Amino acid sequence: MKRKKIKTMGEQFGRRSWAEPWKIKMVEPIKLTSREERERTIKEAGYNTFLLRSEDVYIDLLTDSGTSAMSDRQWAGIMLGDEAYAGSRNFYHLEEAVRKYYGYKYVLPVHQGRGAEHLISKTLIKPGHYIPGNMYFTTTRLHQELAGGTFVDVIIDEAHDPPNLHPFKGNIDINKLEALIKRVGAENIPFISLAGTVNMAGGQPVSMANLKALRELCNVYGISINLDATRMAENCFFIQECEQGYQDKTIAEILREFCSYTDGAWMSSKKDHLVNIGGWLAVNDKELFDKLCNLVVVYEGLHTYGGMAGRDMEALAIGISEGVQDDHIRSRIEQVRYLGNILINWNIPIVRPVGGHAIFLDAKSFYSHLPQDKFPAQTLAAELYLDSGVRSMERGIVSAGRDPETGNHRYPALELTRLAIPRRVYTQAHMDVVSEAIRAVYKARKETKGLKMIYEPKYLRFFQARFEKIT
């Protein structure tokens, strides 16, 4: 098939530069703060960037979740909200968009990704079950554990090695998975939990070839595959760029093919779909859908709104089609790479290759003098904020939490500080400022002594834990 991609202006003139496929119509001021102010605010926040007020942040790279700028078409959609309790027309637009771009038969709206994780986990997982997946995600694993299951990481080893340049570090290790199936029995594996671009590994993609091999293995053992499609459109960009046979296919075509090898998906629409709230759960099996439909009314809302307002479903339906456009995805990922390449040129340790949604600083090598229980990635997020008001997020030992059986800290191989780039929000100049902040903190790294945890909540502790500076 001929590639339908339209060349950028730069490409048309023989240059390799790219630019965003939009211009800015409305702006929101952001505020510079003084070092003294930041020292006070981060201390008050217990050195946890989740506990800062956003008005005390200059450039907010805490997350790309729910932080996108909506388009004029999406805002127009907000005005077309049909706020009926049941059967809102916006729900039907959403259902149609999910069917068209993802290809699943039955669609349930939910308020956001973890709402869908809750429903699917509660429906399919029984105590004693094992759920294999390509690296854990915090909320996904917690819902699997709360349902009585045990998550088992079967991602390839390369994913745990930040400088390793494997192009598809999100791949499942088929041998590891088969060994697990033989050990625990296929009947104790309710489904494979497969994520498109693996968040905790650095936004790393899964290849189509790997999914096909996974499908074959699952067919042999009769195991279903459910996809965390949260950043799947971004995953498709890497397939288009690197995998043989996909250069001439559009992101939308690759997405449909990828989903066709899976049995269902859950989605946090706050990422790929360019909305501030929302999500869905979609499956092909009618019997499973009926069970999910019955649970959604208990936890989210009626099956035609699932916790979302009609206007939000409309913006989401429009965002689904905008989120799979080739020029959009290209500029989104190239912006992330722009920042990553500056840091690579300065020899600052980051996860490579640069992934889809964020730059992940390798805090273990950044602060090689700090042991993991002095929370190097948490420390780095606090230091970056102190330097310049840039907000990032810990993705290491604090995020990994405690083992539910032993109660001990889990010590993940990756100790990372994530700078996630919201979609269509910041400019290249913001990326330059961020890179300089990282360089300044890197230069001062030897003086940093780490943090001590002084408050630890039971679930998803990284959101609300508090720390003190070690002096």
Q: 370 near 382, Cβ under 8 Å?
A: no
Annotated catalytic residue, options 374, 395, 445, 461: 395
Active site residue 85: yes
Nearest residue to the partner ligand P61, using Cβ: 113
H or E element at residue 59: strand 59-60
268 binds ligand P61 (CB under 6 A): yes
3-class SS of residue 191? strand
Here's the x/- map for ligand P61, 317-356, by CB under 6 A: it reads as: ----------------------------------------
Interface map 194-223 toward ligand P61 (x if CB under 6 A): -x---x------------------------
Cα dihedral sign, 110-49-371-398: negative
Q: How many angstroms separate the Cα of 108 from the Cα of each of 14, 93, 233, 305? A: 46, 12, 20, 8
DSSP-derived pairing of the beta strands 191-195 and 224-228: parallel
Q: CA torsion angle for 42, 45, 48, 51 (degrees, to 10)? A: -120
Among 79, 98, 115, 82, residue whose Cα is nearest residue 306: 115
By CB under 6 A, the residues from 156 to 195 that bind ligand P61 are: 195
Residues 365-394 binding ligand P61 (CB under 6 A) are 393
Among the candidate windows 138-146, 152-160, 179-187, 450-458, which touches ligand P61 by CB under 6 A? 138-146
Sheet holding 150-153, edge to edge: 106-110, 279-283, 264-268, 224-228, 191-195, 130-133, 150-153
Q: Looking at 8, 63, 138, 230, which residue is catalytic? A: 138
- Does 448 engage in binding with ligand P61 (CB under 6 A)? no
**Annotated catalytic, 168?**
no
Helix runs in 136-199, H state only: 138-146, 174-184
Nearest to ligand P61 of 112, 121 (CB atom) = 112
Window contacting ligand P61 (CB under 6 A); options: 133-141, 214-222, 348-356, 400-408 = 133-141
Which listed range, 135-143, 168-176, 365-373, 430-438, lies at the site for ligand P61 (CB under 6 A)? Answer: 135-143
Q: Phi/psi at 144 (nearest 5 deg)?
A: -65, -40
CA distances from 430 to 63, 166, 247, 333 (A): 15, 29, 31, 15
**Residue 48 makes contact with ligand P61 by CB under 6 A:** no
Of these, 90, 144, 230, 435, which contacts ligand P61 (CB under 6 A)? Answer: 230
* 137 tagged catalytic: yes
Catalytic, out of 249, 270, 271, 391: 271
- Return the residue of 8, 49, 90, 140 that touches ligand P61, per CB under 6 A: 140
Give the shortest CB-139-to-ligand P61 separation in angstroms: 5
* Residues 396, 397, 398: CA angle, nearest 5 degrees: 95
Query: Taking CB under 6 A as the rule, does residue 138 contact ligand P61?
Result: yes
Examine the residue annotation and report whether 238 is marked as an active-site residue of this protein. Answer: no
What is the DSSP secondary structure assignment for residue 132, as one 8-state letter? E
**Binding to ligand P61 by residue 270, rule CB under 6 A?**
yes
Q: Does 114 bind ligand P61 (CB under 6 A)?
A: yes
The site that binds ligand P61 (CB under 6 A) totals a number of residues, namely 18
Under 8 Å CB-to-CB from 470, ≥6 apart: which residues?
374, 449, 450, 451, 452
Task: Reply yes or no on whether 138 is catalytic.
Answer: yes
**Is 173 an annotated catalytic residue?**
no
By CB under 6 A, is residue 63 in contact with ligand P61? Answer: yes
Residues 6 or more apart in contact with residue 80 via CB below 8 angstroms: 90, 311, 314
Q: At what angle do helices 326-345 and 232-242 cross, to 10 degrees?
A: 80
- When binding is defined by CB under 6 A, the residue of 71, 74, 90, 112 that contacts ligand P61 is 112
| Closest approach of ligand P61 to the CB of residue 399, in Å | 6
Which stretch in 100-108, 110-118, 162-170, 425-433 sits in contact with ligand P61 by CB under 6 A? Answer: 110-118
Q: Does 401 bind ligand P61 (CB under 6 A)?
A: no
- Distance between CA atoms of residues 356 and 349, nearest Å: 17
* Spatial CA neighbour of 335 closest among 26, 68, 32: 68
Binding residues for ligand P61 (CB under 6 A): 63, 65, 112-114, 137-140, 195, 199, 228, 230, 268, 270, 279, 393, 399
Catalytic residue numbers?
Answer: 85, 137-138, 228, 271, 395, 462
